Amino acid sequence: ARKFIIDCDTAEDDITSFLLLLRYGAEVVGLTVVEGNISFHQEINNALWAVEFAGVDTPVFVGTERPLIKSFVTVEDVHGKGGIGQERLAPSKAKPSPKHAVDAMIELSERYAGELEVMAISPLTNLAMAILKDKRLVERLKAIYIMGGTIYGRGNITPVAEYNFWVDPDAAKVVLNSGAKLIMLPWEVAVSNAIDESTWARIQSMNTRMARYYVESYKHYREFATKRQGMRGHPHPDVLTTAVAIDRSVATDVRRERVDVENCDCLTRGATVIDYSSPGHVRGYFMGEVKQIGERWKWFTV
Ligand code: BDR
Ligand code: CA
């Protein structure tokens, strides 16, 4: 089985990515928690809850609670206080591992050298720390999938910055310039593949255990996206990134370009900078388009 670490700021989309990977036969060898969406404490609870819900024994590793240098804000208005519908408590017996997430990333990359893939669907602080601590880490990773940044300069936390890059642009810079094999899914791709009304209705009518989880956990975010942001549906950034990892043919327009990020403390903090003119400096891929994946929603609603 393919081996993944999921680096998560455990809201609805992060957990659905976890469930989706498992459903497609991947082995998730660690959930590493990082600052982001909601309170750190609730993120850890949600990760432990997700492991129990999935019925697996994936260890949960607690990572960084704040960005490398900058301060940040959580986005409970977007995801709700609990991040996945109601506030979840960690299952009573479950505890996170005593090992720090940064050390877990390094150790797991040694254990599964050449095989381990990282699903980086959150601010990149843990991953940057691990890369800084162990300069050979990226050589041992098979790939890093990043949900972050923008392709057309349209952000969600500021006019020009996507949240994950904005929270810790210094960390994002470390990862983007690390020489690792990167595959990045930008924010606008998620917006153009939002879950429309008929798909949402279909999932609601399924009434399976997974569909019930899905509907409950996305309810708050869907309200926010459709009512407060005027979108036609709710976007699925982390899940789309995961879908591409599972089946690369989901992405229809994959470009290989050098990507960097603005890490000033300024109006454009966290903005993505794509260099289309230096093919000699290629560092990774990003996706310009993802197929409408309509029928594929059955993937994670059974
Ligand atoms: C990203 O930020 C978070 O709100 C989501 O979990 C996703 O990873 C989108 O900008
Ligand atoms: Ca996330």
pLDDT at 205: 87
Helices in 24-100 by DSSP H: which ranges?
40-54, 76-79
Sign (positive/negative) of CA torsion 132, 272, 163, 232? negative
Torsion angle of the four alpha carbons 157, 159, 165, 170, in this order, in degrees rounded to the nearest 10? -110
Pairing of strands 284-290, 182-185: parallel
User: Which one of 38, 163, 165 would you pick to mutate in the ligand 1 pocket, going by the greatest count of ligand atoms within 8 A of its CB?
Assistant: 163
Does the pLDDT at position 198 exceed 70?
yes
In this prediction the pTM is: 0.94
Q: Residues 151, 272: contact at Cβ < 8 Å? A: yes
Place of tokens 């230096």: 278
Identify the weakest region by mean pLDDT among 8-12, 70-74, 149-153. 149-153
Pocket of ligand 1 (CB under 6 A): 9, 11, 13-14, 37, 75, 78, 121-122, 147, 156, 162-164, 187, 237-238
State the chain's maximal CA–CA distance in angstroms.
Answer: 54
pLDDT at 302: 40
Q: How remote is the CA of residue 302 from the centroid of ligand 2, in Å?
A: 22
Q: How remote is the CA of residue 28 from the centroid of ligand 2, in Å?
A: 16
What are the two backbone dihedrals, phi and then psi, of residue 295, each rounded to the nearest 5 degrees?
-60, -25
Does the pLDDT at position 180 exceed 70?
yes
The Cα-based distances of 61 to 7, 103, 197 in angstroms read 9, 9, 36
pLDDT at 287: 54
pLDDT at 257: 81
Does the pLDDT at position 292 exceed 50?
no
Token pair for residue 35? Answer: 């600052």
H or E stretch covering 260: strand 251-261
Index of the ligand 1 atom closest to the CA of residue 156:
10
| pLDDT tens track for 184-195 | 999 988 888 888
Exactly one of 79, 236, 238, 260 is catalytic; name it.
236
Q: Residues 246, 24: contact at Cβ < 8 Å? A: yes
**pLDDT class for 256, splitting at 50, 70, 90?**
confident
Index of the ligand 1 atom closest to the CA of residue 121:
8
Q: Residues 120, 145: contact at Cβ < 8 Å? A: yes
**pLDDT class for 286, splitting at 50, 70, 90?**
low
Index of the ligand 1 atom closest to the CA of residue 12:
6
pLDDT at 285: 57
Tell me which residue has its CA closest to atom 3 in ligand 1: 37
Round to whole Å and give the CA distance between 185 and 146.
6
More reliable by pLDDT, 197 or 113: 113
**What average pLDDT score do residues 146-150 get?**
95
pLDDT at 274: 87
**What average pLDDT score do residues 205-213 get?**
87
Q: How remote is the CA of residue 155 from the centroid of ligand 2, in Å?
A: 15
pLDDT at 247: 84
Round to whole Å and give the CA distance between 85 and 65.
22
Exactly one of 9, 13, 134, 238 is catalytic; name it.
9
What is the C-alpha end-to-end distance of the chain, expressed in Å? 21
Please give the ipTM for the structure prediction: 0.95
Q: Is 9 a catalytic residue?
A: yes
Q: Is 281 a catalytic residue?
A: no
| pLDDT tens track for 110-140 | 999 999 999 999 999 999 999 999 999 999 9
In degrees, rounded to 5, the angle at the alpha carbon of residue 145 between the alpha carbons of residues 34 and 11 is: 40
Q: Residues 167, 128: contact at Cβ < 8 Å? A: no
Q: How remote is the CA of residue 12 from the centroid of ligand 2, in Å?
A: 8
Identify the weakest region by mean pLDDT among 123-132, 169-178, 237-246. 237-246
